[in-house]
Amino acid sequence: MRSSSLLARPTVARLLTTMSATTLPGDVKVTEHFLSVPLDHSKPDGGSLSLFVRELVAASKAADDLPCLLYLQGGPGFPSKRPAFPASGWDKSALATHRVLLLDQRGTGRSTPVTAKQLLALPGGPQAQAGYLEHFRADSIVRDCEVVREALCGGKKLSLLGQSFGGFCILTYLSLFPDAIERALFTFGLAPVGRTADEVYAATYKRMEERNRRFYQRYPQDVELVRSLVAGLHAAPAPLPRGGTLTARRFLQLGLLLGSASGFEALHDLLELARPPSADGLPDATSSLPDLFLLEVEAAQQHFETNPIYWLLHEAIYCDGGGGGGGGECGRLGGPSGWAAERVQASLGEGWDYTTRLEPGSPPVQLTGEMVYSWMGDDYAWLRPLKPAAELLAAKEDWGPLYDAVALGRGGAKVAALVSFEDIYVERAFSEATGALLGDRASLWITNEFQHSGLRDQPALVFDRLLAMSKGELAIPS
């Protein structure tokens, strides 16, 4: 039997403001919409949020009754992509047949944003901040999407394109409102339905071990450079220009870069900025790190501070109070997330304890990936005042359900999904299991041609192929 919280219908938009349309080069008509939605869809008369949607349509087809394609961005906590004009990439492909809706999910972009300053202004302190943030997970985002569908699409079925966390949202959509969806296209976003946060991180740390190995294989000169930097920061953390602290543990989070196709080069180029003009090219422990290097580290990690939902709710995206139909588990069976990535890392032994690898010639120091940690509330200046709220969210034991395994298995929407064989963010084996849960309506394109950035790297190819797969025009797998 489906949870009553999953069955709850969203309210209709209390206000729709449509800005005047603009026609831009390349035959693209752009219209901006602002909708008012409840903070809590179960309490429509409570507080409200503003929701921003950018609508794109071929100007020459603006009067046509086109199907709507809603794009859901990855994250959590990031706004929709900003289109280029003339249209290119997957936008150009989609505009040939669809009206495209780019949603800034609640808390992001031009929708009512969640920032450190905004959260700290809430009356009631950390308890109020945590209570407010509970309404920014996929279940609330999907109910916002239903408001958008009714207000901008006349209640017609949607096609969905979801990147990473956007795909997690699609699975929640397929659980809550399966009849609202015509087709669902996933790029690296088949969530680990029924898996605990601990299982997720155990798998992704293992993926990171291989990604580290390959990075150092390509750039062996960086083995000792990373070790030297980590040893220096372990002994004396460096102050950062915006007030944060570059500790060894924070430095290792630069491994997040390795999840994209260009990640090896991005990380290598950043590390080069720390090299002094000496024979061995290794920083002197007595010298300060170059300002440019510190600035570039901040730039690579600034999203943690500018988009705090990512830190505050990242582990909560795995807290399915319904257990995907299997019993309400998250980090520990029946319990809260409890900083699962931190807990799992501690259980993995010396391989993930950088302090055991500081001597020259010892095994390479492992960089971490898409994990969040409690200590980020100490090392990141803008996150420090939010640490009490983060601890409350990590301790929360009664998260609501996100998925309904029965609904996922019975729905009629066509599904096509791109899965990276060695994705360091979304474990491929778990994605395959979720694909099996969706049944014969789901076609999975599993490849090592792409990292997690495939939709950005080859957008038109990826979109066109997924759309053809969902229509039965392309047989993948063959």
* Residues annotated catalytic, as ranges: 164, 398, 452
Which has the closest alpha carbon to 193: 446, 442, 452, 430? Answer: 430
Give the bridge partners for 238, in sequence order: 246
The structure tokens listed for 292 are: 């440019």
Where does residue 62 rank: exposed (0-12), middle (13-18), buried (19+ CB within 10 A)? middle
Helices (H), 134-260: 138-153, 165-176, 197-218, 222-235, 248-252
Find the Cα–Cα–Cα–Cα dihedral 234, 240, 244, 249, rounded to 10°: -30
Q: How far is CA 324 from CA 20, 103, 163, 175, 177, in A?
A: 43, 26, 20, 9, 15
- 95 neighbors 83 (Cβ within 8 angstroms): no
Three-state DSSP string of 321-380: CCHHHCCCECCCCCCCCCCHHHHHHHHCHHHHCHHHHCCCCCCCCCCCCCCCCCCHHHHC
Find the Cα–Cα–Cα–Cα dihedral 246, 371, 111, 3, rounded to 10°: -150
Concatenating the DSSP letter of every residue in 251-280 gives HHGGGGGGGSTTHHHHHHHHHHTT--SSSS
Which has the closest alpha carbon to 74: 9, 168, 214, 146? Answer: 168
> Ramachandran region of residue 472, left (φ > 0), alpha (ψ -120 to 50) or beta?
left
Peptide bond preceding 290: is omega within 30 degrees of 0, i.e. cis? no
- 414 neighbors 469 (Cβ within 8 angstroms): no
Coil, helix or strand at residue 456: helix
Question: What are the backbone dihedrals phi and psi of residue 456, each rounded to the nearest 5 degrees, phi first?
Answer: -80, -35
Give the integer Cα–Cα distance in Å for 375 and 247.
Answer: 10
Give the integer Cα–Cα distance in Å for 425 and 189.
Answer: 9
Q: How far is CA 35 from CA 49, 100, 369, 407, in A?
A: 8, 17, 36, 29
Coil, helix or strand at residue 22: strand
